[in-house]
């Protein structure tokens, strides 16, 4: 695993994982402690409560420090492992924000060893499709913008400028496919 600049990538997901680790650790300690106490009580029912507690403590004190020291190591390992799946989702979120601002942003990439490496290819296709659609939008605006004077629009400006389309053209943009069961006529879809 590659060392990361940020340990806490997604506090919600990683916090739940840490909470589960602590819960399982406490449950395991209680299970072993109560199991040993019950077993000891059934072996020596005539002992006092103080005698049972003294014997249990003498049995548990050698391994209790190692159990306490083991918890931070397990938490650290779970956080590092969770970075392999929380990190790619964090990068995907950042990439979608960048893509929204600028479709020409750098392509999405994950670190070596991260999970969900297969998300990069669909995101690259989506980014290419977005660039193609923005270029087509600019082309259409330049074609239909006869009343508008000035140079051709930049794709960033074109995305924020409203396009004047007829009602039929708007319906074609909203629903480019023919209704179910209708025959498909390629000539009716040409612009």
The end-to-end CA distance of the chain, in Å, is 51
CA gap 10, 7 in Å, rounded: 9
The residue ranges of every structural domain in the chain are 11-95, 116-173
pLDDT of residue 21: 96
| DSSP label of 119 | G
Q: How confident is the model at residue 164 (pLDDT cuts 50, 70, 90)?
A: low
What mean pLDDT is predicted for residues 63-67? Answer: 89
CA dihedral 66, 69, 73, 76 (to 10 degrees): 160
Name all contacts of 82-86 with Cβ < 8 Å and 24+ positions apart: 82/9, 82/10, 82/13, 82/14, 82/17, 83/1, 83/4, 83/7, 83/9, 84/1, 84/113, 84/114, 84/115, 85/114, 85/115, 85/116, 86/9, 86/10, 86/13, 86/14
Q: How confident is the model at residue 50 (pLDDT cuts 50, 70, 90)?
A: very high
Higher pLDDT, 9 or 67: 67
CA gap 153, 146 in Å, rounded: 13
Higher pLDDT, 153 or 21: 21
Q: How confident is the model at residue 169 (pLDDT cuts 50, 70, 90)?
A: low
CA dihedral 95, 96, 100, 101 (to 10 degrees): -30
Q: What is the pLDDT of residues 89-140, one digit of tens each?
A: 888 888 888 888 887 888 888 888 888 888 888 888 888 888 888 888 888 8
User: Among 106, 84, 86, 85, which residue's Cα sits nearest to residue 95?
Assistant: 106
Three-state DSSP state, 74: helix
Question: Are 44 and 98 a contacting pair, CB within 8 Å?
Answer: no
């Amino acid at each position: 695993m590659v060392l990361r600049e940020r340990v806490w990538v997604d506090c919600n997901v990683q916090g739940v994982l840490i909470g589960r680790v602590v819960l399982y650790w406490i449950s395991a300690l209680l299970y072993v402690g109560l199991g040993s106490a019950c077993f000891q009580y059934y072996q020596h029912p005539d002992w006092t409560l103080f005698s049972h507690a003294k014997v249990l403590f003498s049995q548990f004190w050698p391994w209790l420090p190692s159990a306490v020291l083991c918890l931070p190591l397990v938490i650290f390992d779970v956080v590092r492992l969770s970075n392999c799946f929380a990190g790619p989702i964090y990068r995907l979120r950042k990439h979608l924000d960048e893509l929204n601002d600028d479709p020409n942003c750098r392509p999405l990439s994950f670190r070596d060893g991260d999970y969900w490496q297969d998300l990069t290819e669909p995101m690259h296709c989506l980014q290419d499709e977005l660039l193609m659609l923005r270029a087509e939008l600019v082309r259409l605006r330049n074609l239909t913008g006869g009343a508008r004077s000035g140079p051709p629009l930049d794709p960033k400006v074109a995305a924020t400028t409203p396009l004047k389309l007829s009602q039929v053209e708007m319906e074609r943009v909203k629903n480019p496919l023919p209704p179910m069961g209708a025959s498909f006529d390629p000539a009716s879809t040409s612009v």
